[in-house]
């Protein structure tokens, strides 16, 4: 996985899935029967165990750390909850310039000062992954992650999930200085959250700008990308462990067909592509030889086996246009997906080597 993210083509295409942890797994629901989502994220024993579940069940080639993009906001003291079946909900959405000024006055260093449970959970996970790696005979890396400033800002100013992220898109133009203050601050907060996981032992990092596809390319370039670059810089500037030359960083968003080249211009190694753009088309659009990650339509998890297998093969073929390919879905695993279909996709990807 790590070699592929950095540009090699291993004999077997590596595969992991966004939202592989939690949601669709019965063993997850059994563990999560008590307590809130945020409590689970900040319980090292529980978070590390949930992180391991899909790795054991599906045989994927990486773990994604069980947490959420809003965890660093909770750590610095912002009142946020993850509502079941809905997502992040803030008790005091940022409605005015004064709300934003009060928020950006919070010290981003609190993420690290109060992030002991996150570091502990990462440490426990990498120890469990090392044991499983010995059994499987190949290292299974942990991917750390963070939300990009735009996606976090979209929740903060809206107060919760929204369809078109109008409050954030409006603020960009209505009060450009406040927008810049907010996204610069978010870059510090979320960048430290990502760096914290990597310092604690994660082998790669992914920045999720899930809602960036709702922006015009001009707005993305001028008002959003700089803060994402600043967030990634926190991870990039960490000292590397002995024997490691480069930390693989992935940049992903949904509906980003028009901004792929801009997203690819950040200091990253791999670009996550959603299911709307075939990987060979994405390769032509980005003008840079990055590893591509993606991009099976999550809806294909419900298709009859021959249809699903053909779709996986088509993506593996298109992925050959890039320097290297990491197989993934074009967005997250849906809540009601059949876990056996997910395991079957892993087998199809791994068997492709024979062709």
Is residue 353 annotated as part of the catalytic site, yes or no? no
Q: How far apart are CA 122 and CA 111, in angstroms?
A: 15
Asked about 19 being catalytic, the answer comes back as yes
CA angle 26, 29, 30 (to 5 degrees): 90
- Dist. CA 200–CA 207, nearest whole Å: 17
Q: Which is nearer to ligand 1CP, 171 or 352 (CB)?
A: 171
Q: CA 141 to CA 204: how far, in whole Å?
A: 8
The Cα–Cα gap between 74 and 61 comes to: 30
Size of the site for ligand 1CP (CB under 6 A): 23
Selection from 140, 144, 116, 143 nearest residue 128 by Cα: 140
Q: Which parts of the chain are beta strand (E)?
A: 63-64, 80-83, 87-90, 142-147, 204-208, 249-252, 270-272, 291-296, 325-329
Q: Does 330 bind ligand 1CP (CB under 6 A)?
A: no
Instruction: For residue 32, indicate whether it is catalytic.
Output: yes
The encoded tokens of residue 131 equal 């044991």
Q: Which stretch binds ligand 1CP (CB under 6 A): 15-23, 100-108, 167-175, 299-307?
A: 15-23
Shortest Cβ 20–ligand 1CP spacing (Å): 5
Q: Of 9, 19, 114, 276, which is the active-site residue?
A: 19
Task: Give whichever of 84 and 306 is closer to ligand 1CP, judged by the CB atom.
Answer: 84
Of positions 4, 5, 15, 18, contacts ligand 1CP by CB under 6 A: 18
335 contacts: CB under 8 Å, gap ≥ 6: 23, 24
- Binding status of residue 255 toward ligand 1CP by CB under 6 A: no
CB of 51 to ligand 1CP, least distance (A): 8
Among 7, 139, 161, 257, interactor with ligand 1CP by CB under 6 A: 161
Among candidate residues 28, 57, 61, 68, the one labeled active-site is 68
**Considering only residues 108, 144, 332, 339, which one is a binding residue for ligand 1CP as defined by CB under 6 A?**
332
Residue 228, token pair as written in the block: 């994402």
88 vs 278, which CB is nearer to ligand 1CP?
88
Q: How many CB atoms lie within 10 A of CB 158?
A: 20
**DSSP bridge pairs for 207:** 146, 251
- Triad 296, 299, 305: Cα angle to 5°: 80
Selected range binding ligand 1CP among 59-67, 175-183, 269-277, 336-344, rule: CB under 6 A: 59-67
Considering only residues 61 through 90, tell me which ones interact with ligand 1CP, judged by CB under 6 A.
Answer: 64, 66-69, 82, 84, 87-88
What are the structure tokens assigned to 140, written together? 């299974």
Binding mask 188-227 for ligand 1CP (x = CB under 6 A): --------------------x-x-----------------
Binding site for ligand 1CP (CB under 6 A): 18-23, 32, 37, 64, 66-69, 82, 84, 87-88, 145, 151, 161, 208, 210, 332
């Amino acid at each position: 996985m790590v070699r592929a993210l950095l540009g090699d083509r291993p004999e077997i295409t590596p595969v992991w899935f966004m939202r592989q942890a939690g949601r669709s797994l019965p063993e997850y629901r059994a563990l999560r029967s008590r307590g809130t989502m945020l409590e689970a994220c900040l319980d090292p024993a529980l978070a590390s165990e949930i992180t391991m579940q899909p790795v054991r069940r599906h045989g994927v080639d990486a773990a994604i750390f069980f947490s959420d993009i809003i965890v660093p906001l909770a750590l610095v003291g912002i009142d946020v909850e993850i509502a079941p079946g809905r997502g992040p909900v803030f008790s005091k959405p940022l409605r005015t310039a004064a709300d934003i000024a009060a928020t950006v006055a919070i010290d981003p260093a609190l993420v690290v000062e109060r992030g002991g449970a996150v570091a502990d959970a990462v440490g426990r996970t990498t120890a469990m992954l090392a044991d499983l790696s010995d059994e499987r005979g190949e290292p299974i890396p942990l991917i750390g992650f963070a939300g990009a400033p735009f996606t976090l800002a979209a929740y903060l100013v809206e107060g919760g999930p929204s369809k078109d992220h109008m409050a954030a898109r409006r603020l960009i133009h209505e009060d450009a200085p406040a927008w810049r203050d907010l996204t610069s601050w978010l870059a510090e907060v979320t960048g430290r959250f990502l760096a914290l996981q990597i310092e604690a032992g994660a082998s790669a990092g992914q920045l999720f700008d899930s809602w960036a596809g709702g922006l015009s390319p001009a707005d993305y370039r001028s008002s959003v990308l700089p803060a994402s670059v600043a967030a990634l810089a926190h991870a990039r500037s960490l000292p590397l462990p002995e024997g490691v030359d480069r930390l693989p960083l992935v940049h992903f968003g949904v509906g980003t067909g028009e901004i792929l080249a801009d997203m690819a211009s950040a200091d990253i190694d791999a670009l996550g592509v959603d299911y709307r753009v075939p990987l060979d088309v994405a390769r032509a659009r980005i003008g840079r030889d990055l590893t591509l990650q993606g991009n099976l339509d999550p809806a294909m998890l419900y298709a009859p086996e021959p249809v699903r297998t053909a779709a996986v093969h088509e993506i593996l073929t298109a992925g050959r246009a890039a320097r290297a390919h990491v197989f993934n879905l074009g967005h997250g695993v849906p809540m009601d997906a059949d876990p056996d279909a997910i395991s079957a996709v892993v087998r199809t990807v791994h068997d492709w080597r024979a062709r």
